[in-house]
Chain A
Amino acid sequence: MEILVCARRVPDTSENEISLNAAGNDIERDELVYSVNEADNYAVEEALQIRDRVGGNVTVATIGGEDDEEILRRELAMGANQAVLISDDAFSGSDGKGVATILKDFVRKGRYDLILTGVQADDGAAQVGGMLAAMLDYPFASLVNSIALEDGKLKVSREIEGGNREINEIDLPCVLSIQTGINEPRYVGMRGIRQVASAPIPTLGASDLGVDQGAVGEAAARVKRVDYFVPALSKGAEMLDGSREENADKVLELVAAKGGLK
């Protein structure tokens, strides 16, 4: 099976507070460390596991610049067969639809049975996979937390409310957005990355892919992020600033007052 995984490089923000840059038009990125988007990494692992079961190739693609090659190397070290960097100045400022358009043209250059994306990236939009599927006219399923291959069709499970799972049968080729926790991604050590340090990573631009430049980039974006801001702190919560003991007393009093003690 030929599998494409669309991955993205994002700042690792889980352990560190994010602040805004001086201009207020972006977050302060100088001190941040980047890595592959968590859900995308699960998608790559899932692709590798499917390939190892049924054969084929795993290609990882990302849209970005030179810096983004780093995550492609990591995914190559994980075991992807090839990686492609999709890069062009014309792509910058694309909205979700623009990104999906670029990927659509990339997919049409190749032949893929299965396309995986992470369910969402740092912007929390969860949109590119569904858009890409619609543009390609492939069936789509989001929030996928298990995949089984049966007679040329996939049986996928989606994570729905209440911890329940929705089981669907889906024809190939298709696009799936992968939820975290679907598998246990393998570890990529320094050694693995060094071993693929010289692996070629082709770079494709707008003309290579035949992307309609009027459909991508900032000018074509119909959804624009105007600014970043940190919401005013604790407009809701009344902050208790007594000693630990005083706070505990207060909490107990409040719990009792709200009918929480029987």
Chain B
Amino acid sequence: MVVAAVRRLVFKPARYAVPAKYGKSHTPDAVFLLGLIAILMVADSMFSASNATRHLQQNQPVETLAVFSLPWMLKAAIGAMPLATLWALNVGAYLVHELTFYFLLCYRPFGIQFHVETSLFSVYFAKLERGTLKPVRWGVPDESLDQVKSFGVKTFEDFTWKHMLDFYSCADCGRCADNCPANAVGRPLSPRFITIKARDYAFQHYPVLGKAHNHKPLIGNIYSEDEIWSCTTCGACEEECPLLVEYIDKIVDLRRGMIDDGNVPQSLQKPLKALESRGNPYGKMEKKRGDWAKAIPPGSQPTNAVKLLDGKSGADTLYFVDSITSYDDRMQAIGRATARILECLGKNFGILGATEKDSGHEVRRFGEEMLFMALRDHNTEVIKAAGVQRIVTADPHAYNALKHDYKDVPPVEHIVQVVAREVRDGNVRFNPVEDKDRVYAYHDPCYLGRHNQVYDDPRDVLDSIPGLTRVEMQRSRDRSFCCGGGGLMLFYEPKEDQRMGMLRVRMAAEAGANVIVTACPFCMVNIEDAIKVAGMEGKMSVMDLTELVDRHLVREGTEKTEKLEAATCGG
């Protein structure tokens, strides 16, 4: 009790603070509840103490009181009181305790303590599938979505009952906000207040007495547009929440609502339109999608160039490249490294080339469900036509999309999973690292780590490279810190004090690393930018795990790997 009161009133952990923009502080409510609990404890103790003292004075059998407990101390204090006073104390304490207890029971649903009751249910009904999104409307199949009048969450009443239950179940502990990268860089988003503001709204608009006034738009009233677009869907908040409150689904539902109302920032409209017309957010021509593969220098692969899958190629593995690796000059190096690794591992693989479209992973998470469905249906069709047994990708976002958002496609693996398995099976060996001064830190991409629990494979691969020094950043694995967000987030211009990538680069420096290794093209973009902005070029560098693997793979009869890589990856 005392500790809790001191914590609330004296130390005031920063995360309990409520910034003015998010509403009023909940401390008075918390203190009031603490007071009620204190009364209960004192009354109960006084009841026991007076009882015991009375029995003692009447030479009746006395139940033993724990030494140094509150009743024990009170017993010592009231030992000399007359019997009548003790009786009065005894009955008084009983009444105070009962009244307080029942008052508290009735009061709890109106205060922050209600979470104790509701969380039983919200935890029981919590979503267990990581990396997935809720459908637009539960129970409505994709084909019938056209009949749904309104998409997403526009008013409080549009939230699902489970999400409303979440609002009541939040213990207001602030762990989500502490771990939220958007909150950390000063974007106008704190997951905690997504919940708290909605709960306050519910209390205000659904009073016990009087009429419920409802159906006000949430955006512009309790949430701002920027707040909802600021989320990178990294999942740190959900990972930390002790009561399993869901955030990504709510954010995506709110975005679906904004998309449905046409309320989309101009910076996102252009890439969305390009995705619709060209299948990639850059508006580049479809026919150039596979051009990166042509840039693999002849001779770097023992056999031939990357196959284009047409159903007759005989390849059993599809390398799903996705947009950024296909079109971005720098990220194409990841594509080439991946292709060379697959070749070296003896995989019979190919790419879709011009017929591949964006996986739609971010399209879906930015709330444009119908566009996502169009991309998914297109890709599903061409993947099926390719006649492969498995899919490999080097993009965790594509990996998550193909694994969780797509149906009826062959099983998908991220390239690090493939390499890790080959390492464990003893099928590949690595050359020792040349530069012993390099200290590597692995940055967990959100959609490989938190959303899909692939933590050990990349680390195992790194550790199997002889002589490689690896350190862990303080925030790693399930507490990894988002680089700034992938896909459409690269186009969005949030209001922020600094970049997430900058914080991440500093974390790596603090860990003593000078090379950040990641396994996601978006992490690479963000971290590479952050290194430049931080002026840490030369002191810190970033590379993709595929590039590192490609550079150190022992290839039969080729010693030229180093040189070739230097020529294509720029170093």
Q: Measuring CB to CB, which residues of chain A are less than 8 angstroms from any residue of chain B? A: 12, 14-16, 31, 33, 35, 78-79, 184-192, 194-195
Contacts of A189 in B (CB 8 A): 259-260, 262, 272, 368, 370-371
Instruction: Tell yes or no: B329 within 8 A of A by CB.
Output: no
Q: Are A191 and B277 in contact (CB under 8 A)?
A: no
Report the minimal beta-carbon distance from A140 to chain B, rounded to whole angstroms.
Answer: 28
Q: Is the CB of A16 within 8 A of B259?
A: no
Chain B proximity of A178: nearest CB distance (Å): 16
Point out the residues of chain B lying under 8 angstroms from A12, CB to CB. 277, 283
Interchain residue pairs with CB less than 8 A apart (27): A15-B282, A16-B283, A16-B284, A16-B285, A33-B277, A33-B278, A35-B277, A78-B262, A184-B265, A184-B266, A186-B264, A187-B259, A187-B269, A187-B272, A188-B262, A189-B259, A189-B260, A189-B370, A190-B276, A190-B370, A190-B371, A191-B259, A191-B369, A192-B260, A192-B262, A194-B146, A195-B146
Main secondary structure of the interface of B (DSSP, over half): helix
B274 within 8 A of partner (CB): yes
Closest beta carbon of chain A to B219's beta carbon, Å: 14
* Interface membership of B263, Cβ < 8 A: yes
A184 cross-chain contacts in B, Cβ below 8 A: 265-266
Q: Which of B262, B285, B287, B370 contacts A194 (CB 8 A)?
A: B370
User: Given A33-B277, A189-B370, A14 and B283 touching (CB < 8 A)?
Assistant: yes
B273 at the interface (CB under 8 A from A): yes
B374: CB under 8 A from chain A? yes
Excluding A16-B284, A190-B276, 14 further A-B contacts by CB distance (< 8 Å) are A16-B283, A31-B287, A33-B278, A35-B273, A184-B265, A186-B261, A186-B262, A187-B259, A187-B269, A189-B259, A189-B272, A191-B151, A191-B259, A191-B260
A202 to chain B, nearest CB (A): 24
B residues 368-395 near A (Cβ < 8 Å) are 368-371, 374
In the complex, which of the residues B151, B265, B278 has the most CB atoms of chain A within 10 Å of its own CB atom? B278
Give every chain A residue within 8 A of B287 (Cβ-Cβ).
31
Complex-state Cα separation, A172 to B285, whole angstroms: 44
How far apart are the CA atoms of A146 and B261 in the complex, in Å?
23
- Kindly list chain B residues whose C-beta atoms are within 8 Å of the C-beta of A79: 262
Q: List chain B positions with a Cβ less than 8 A from chain A.
A: 145-146, 151, 259-266, 268-269, 272-274, 276-278, 282-285, 287, 368-371, 374
Most chain B CB within 10 A, of A12, A79, A190, is at A190
In angstroms, how far is the closest chain B Cβ from the Cβ of A181? Answer: 10
A35 to B278, CA, bound (A): 12
CA distance A79 to B278 in the complex (A): 24
Give CA–CA (A186, B263) in the complex, Å. Answer: 6
Q: Which residues of A contact B277 (CB under 8 A)?
A: 12, 33, 35
Closest Cβ–Cβ distance, residue B202 to chain A (whole Å) = 29
Quote the shortest CB–CB distance from A253 to chain B (angstroms): 24
CB of A222, distance to nearest CB on chain B (Å):
36
> Smallest distance from the beta carbon of B217 to chain A beta carbons, Å?
15
Question: How far apart sit A78 and B269, CA to CA, in the bound complex (Å)?
Answer: 13
Contact residues in A for B285 (Cβ distance below 8 Å): 16, 31
B151: A residues at CB distance < 8 A: 191
B190 CB to closest chain A CB, in angstroms? Answer: 26
CB distance from A10 to the nearest CB of B (A): 13
5 nearest A-B pairs in the assembled complex, by CB-CB distance:
A186-B262, A187-B264, A15-B283, A190-B370, A33-B277
Query: How far in angstroms is the closest Cβ of chain B from A227?
Result: 24
Q: Which residues of B contact A191 (CB under 8 A)?
A: 145-146, 151, 259-260, 369-370
Asked whether A187 lies within 8 Å of B263 as measured between CB atoms, the reply is: yes
Residues of A within 8 A of B283 (CB): 12, 14-16, 33
Q: By CB atoms of chain A within 10 A, which of B261, B262, B278, B368 has the most?
A: B262
CB within 8 Å for A187 and B262 given contacts A15-B282, A16-B284, A194-B370: yes
Taking the closest CB of chain A, its distance from the CB of B329, in whole angstroms, is 14
A186 to B374, CA, bound (A): 21
Q: How many whole Å from B135's CB to the nearest CB in chain A? A: 14
Alpha-carbon distance A188/B368, docked complex (angstroms): 10
Query: A195: which B residues are within 8 A, CB to CB?
Result: 146
In the complex, what distance in Å separates the CA atom of A192 from the CA atom of B370?
Answer: 9
Q: Which residue of A lies closest to B283 (CB)?
A: A15
Q: Give the Cβ gap from B367 to chain A, nearest Cβ, in Å.
A: 9
Tell me which residues across on chain B come within 8 A of A192, comparing CB atoms.
Answer: 260, 262
**Closest chain A CB from B372 CB (angstroms):** 9
B residues within 8 A CB of A16? 283-285
Residues from chain B with a CB closer than 8 A to the CB of A14 are 283
A78, A188, A190: the one contacting B374 at CB < 8 Å is A190
Contacting pair A15 B284 (CB below 8 A): yes
Whole-angstrom distance between the Cβ of A144 and the nearest chain B Cβ: 19
Cα separation A78 to B277 with both chains bound (whole Å): 17
Bound complex: CA of A79 vs CA of B263, how far in Å?
A: 13
What residue in chain A is nearest B145 (Cβ atoms)?
A191
Docked CA distance A12–B151 (Å): 29
B96, chain A: closest CB distance, angstroms: 60
CB-CB under 8 A from B368, the residues of chain A are: 189-190
Whole-angstrom distance between the alpha carbons of A187 and B369 in the complex?
Answer: 14
Complex CA–CA separation, A197 to B268 (angstroms)? 24
CA distance A190 to B370 in the complex (A): 6
Q: Which residues of A contact B284 (CB under 8 A)?
A: 15-16
Q: Which residues of B contact A188 (CB under 8 A)?
A: 262
Nearest CB of A to B245, in Å: 29
| A15-B262 contact in complex given A31-B285, A185-B269, A194-B146, C-beta closer than 8 Å | no
- A16 and B272 CA atoms in complex are apart in Å by 17
Residues of A within 8 A of B264 (CB): 186-187
Across-interface contacts of A186 in B (CB, < 8 A): 261-264
Name the distance in Å between B142's Cβ and chain A's nearest Cβ: 12
> Nearest Cβ distance between residue B424 and chain A, in whole angstroms?
42
Q: Within the assembled complex, what's the spacing in Å between the Cα atoms of A186 and B269?
A: 9
The smallest C-beta distance from A16 to any residue of chain B, in angstroms, reads 6
CA distance in complex: A38, B564 (Å): 45
Taking CB as reference atom, which chain A residue is nearest B280?
Answer: A15
Residue on B with the closest CB to A77? Answer: B262
- Closest-by-CB residue of A relative to B370 is A190
Residues of B within 8 A of A187 (CB): 259, 262-264, 268-269, 272
Given that A185-B269, A187-B263, A194-B370 are contacting pairs, would A15 and B146 also be in contact in the complex, using a CB cutoff of 8 Å? no
- CB-nearest residue of chain B relative to A32? B285
The residue on A at minimum CB distance from B368 is A189
A192 and B282 CA atoms in complex are apart in Å by: 22
Q: How far is the CA of A226 from the CA of B151 in the complex (A)?
A: 50
A14 CA to B287 CA, complexed, in Å: 17
Q: Which chain A positions have C-beta within 8 A of B261? A: 186
- Complex CA distance for A194 and B259, rounded to whole angstroms: 14
A184–B263 alpha-carbon span in the complex (Å): 10
CB distance from B10 to the nearest CB of A (A): 48
Q: Which of A31, A78, A185, A191 has the largest number of chain B CB atoms within 10 A? A: A191
- A78–B262 Cα distance when bound, in Å, is 8
How far in angstroms is the closest Cβ of chain A from B40? 54
Alpha-carbon separation in the docked complex, A49 to B373 (Å): 31
Given A184-B266, A188-B262, A189-B259: A15 in contact with B371 (beta carbons within 8 A): no
Give CA–CA (A79, B260) in the complex, Å: 12
* A192 nearest in chain B by CB position: B262
Minimal beta-carbon separation of B421 from chain A (angstroms): 39
Chain A residues, CB < 8 A from B272: 187, 189
